[in-house]
A and B are shown apart, each in its own frame.
Chain A
């Protein structure tokens, strides 16, 4: 099956004052792929995905999502078209219950709240938080808050799920569950993963994009990236 392009970015650039954080990046993501985005700290990864989902406006360039030019669309409109973004720094509604957190993610696509309870239960169940719906989100442990964040991503049933450092602060056992979870999610969504944990990247990703100094340094399969000299020098430390 020839892969359809879900998301493409051409010439994406972003300046902060005199500093160019993202420089002329071309990026293409086919539907159904698990893509990892790696690079050293300050390489511009988070800025780049923030440009993709609309939290930041690009200084130049064009973004097409599902065949539509979304460059000028505000973040909420892009999310409504099927992107989902989970935050690097856990960003949940700490004062609300788990139910309300996930319901907020799910209710937008459900007409008149129909089947909302079931959708929330399903999303919580998939991340292993079933039965905790009435707890207050802020009372959860850090690892569980990360899982809730992912449940909120799932509940949106996105076409593209952007995960910004999802395994940060998780234990080894939790990371294994996470890998299995992402594999199952990938059956009906495209995944863009910013990740520092190389084991997670090499296990999950079908293709890897490497960024450095705001530009794309290399792109390829995990095997190709491992073999790439430039990547090793810039990033993996030789």
Chain B
């Protein structure tokens, strides 16, 4: 067991080192893209804790991303909070909202859980629009460059931004790795595999699910807050249904229940959409086709296939 753990740690360190190295060779356009992908992949990693490891399919994860984004953004805009405490507040908002929604939604399961989370997310989105006086609704607002600083670090400067995104991604990657290797992670996987059996081994299934949801919400909130800080924009689009579907798509594509899957899926889909948006405005067609094909032919996703065919120890 410990051999596999070590291999896992080395693999993920390697991935982080590779991403750090890419920073020096990438042209500016892809450099910026990759920073964006890393933040969004952190969002997907959070989604994976719930969906991939605990088996909870949420259709409302945009609300946790948006909780981080707006928790951070509104605190900076209206309360004049500096970047670092605002970031922390964003994480807290994501986790707290997840706890609140979880307390209600986890009373349901399966299809009902999907719809309840979808409805709560929609409520959140509409609430942002309704309080347009504070949130500037659909239009959103910009966080001025001068405010996007932590100490001497200028988060709007591309290299700093890239490494900040990498730091977030690294934290989420290793947090996930530690979680799934822990006894808590084992219980989450047990709940995914056979909830009744887990309960009859003495585990309070509800509490574990809630924990998974809070961890997931905290990661989504961190990603949302970081996104706003690094790219300087806070808008209601990030709370819309589309941003609830995206993490599902990324995780499905990359491989649910694998630690690297969310990163691979996000990277792949980001560039697919980026490339196709050069040809047509109907670029979300790619996302739709991908969802249908994945559910039909590759429900385990890319890294799931890698694990099944090549690398059985892949975490």
Write the residues of chain A forming the contact surface with B, with a CB cutoff of 8 angstroms: 53, 55, 74-77, 79-80, 85, 87, 91-96, 99-100, 103-105, 107-108, 113, 116-117, 152, 156
Bound CA span A101–B186, Å: 9
Looking at the assembled complex, report how far the CB atom of B13 sits from the nearest CB atom of chain A, in whole angstroms.
24
Residue contact B190 to A76, C-beta cutoff 8 Å: no
Inter-chain contacts of A92 with B (CB < 8 A):
194, 197
Known pairs A93-B193, A94-B193; A87 contacts B186 (CB<8 A): no
Residue contact B201 to A156, C-beta cutoff 8 Å: yes
Inter-chain contacts of B196 with A (CB < 8 A):
55, 91
In chain B, positions 105-133 with a C-beta closer than 8 Å to chain A are: none
B205 at interface (Cβ–Cβ under 8 A)? yes
**A108 nearest CB neighbor, chain B only:** B202
B183 at interface (Cβ–Cβ under 8 A)? yes
Inter-chain contacts of B283 with A (CB < 8 A):
none
Residue of B189, B196, B200 most packed against chain A (CB within 10 A): B200
B198 at interface (Cβ–Cβ under 8 A)? yes
B30 at interface (Cβ–Cβ under 8 A)? no
Residue contact A104 to B187, C-beta cutoff 8 Å: yes
B7 at interface (Cβ–Cβ under 8 A)? no
* B183 contact from A87, A95, A107, Cβ within 8 A: A107
The 24 listed contacts between A and B (C-beta, < 8 Å) are: A55-B196, A74-B204, A75-B199, A75-B200, A76-B199, A76-B202, A76-B204, A77-B202, A79-B200, A91-B197, A91-B200, A93-B189, A93-B193, A96-B189, A96-B190, A96-B193, A100-B186, A104-B186, A104-B187, A107-B186, A108-B203, A113-B183, A152-B201, A156-B202
Known pairs A93-B190, A93-B193; A104 contacts B198 (CB<8 A): yes
Inter-chain contacts of B202 with A (CB < 8 A):
76-77, 79-80, 108, 156
In chain B, positions 161-196 with a C-beta closer than 8 Å to chain A are: 183, 186-187, 189-190, 193-194, 196
Bound CA span A92–B194, Å: 8
Residue contact A93 to B197, C-beta cutoff 8 Å: yes
Given contact pairs A55-B200, A76-B203, enumerate 12 new A-B contacts (beta carbons under 8 Å): A75-B200, A76-B200, A76-B204, A76-B205, A79-B199, A79-B201, A92-B194, A96-B190, A107-B183, A108-B202, A117-B1, A156-B202
Inter-chain contacts of B197 with A (CB < 8 A):
87, 91-93
Write the residues of chain B forming the contact surface with A, with a CB cutoff of 8 angstroms: 1, 183, 186-187, 189-190, 193-194, 196-205
Residue of B187, B190, B205 most packed against chain A (CB within 10 A): B190
* B201 contact from A55, A104, A117, Cβ within 8 A: A104
Inter-chain contacts of B186 with A (CB < 8 A):
100, 103-104, 107
Bound CA span A77–B203, Å: 8
Bound CA span A75–B197, Å: 11
Looking at the assembled complex, report how far the CB atom of B126 sits from the nearest CB atom of chain A, in whole angstroms.
36
Bound CA span A117–B199, Å: 22
* A91 contact from B1, B183, B194, B203, Cβ within 8 A: B194
Bound CA span A99–B197, Å: 16
Known pairs A76-B205, A107-B186; A53 contacts B193 (CB<8 A): no
Inter-chain contacts of A116 with B (CB < 8 A):
183
Residue contact A95 to B193, C-beta cutoff 8 Å: yes
Inter-chain contacts of A103 with B (CB < 8 A):
183, 186
Inter-chain contacts of B198 with A (CB < 8 A):
104
Residue of A87, A93, A96 most packed against chain B (CB within 10 A): A93
Bound CA span A6–B201, Å: 20
Bound CA span A156–B203, Å: 12
Bound CA span A55–B189, Å: 21
Bound CA span A28–B194, Å: 32
Looking at the assembled complex, report how far the CB atom of A74 sits from the nearest CB atom of chain B, in whole angstroms.
8
Looking at the assembled complex, report how far the CB atom of A73 sits from the nearest CB atom of chain B, in whole angstroms.
11
Bound CA span A87–B200, Å: 9
Inter-chain contacts of B183 with A (CB < 8 A):
103, 107, 113, 116
Bound CA span A116–B1, Å: 12
Inter-chain contacts of A91 with B (CB < 8 A):
194, 196-197, 200
**B1 nearest CB neighbor, chain A only:** A99
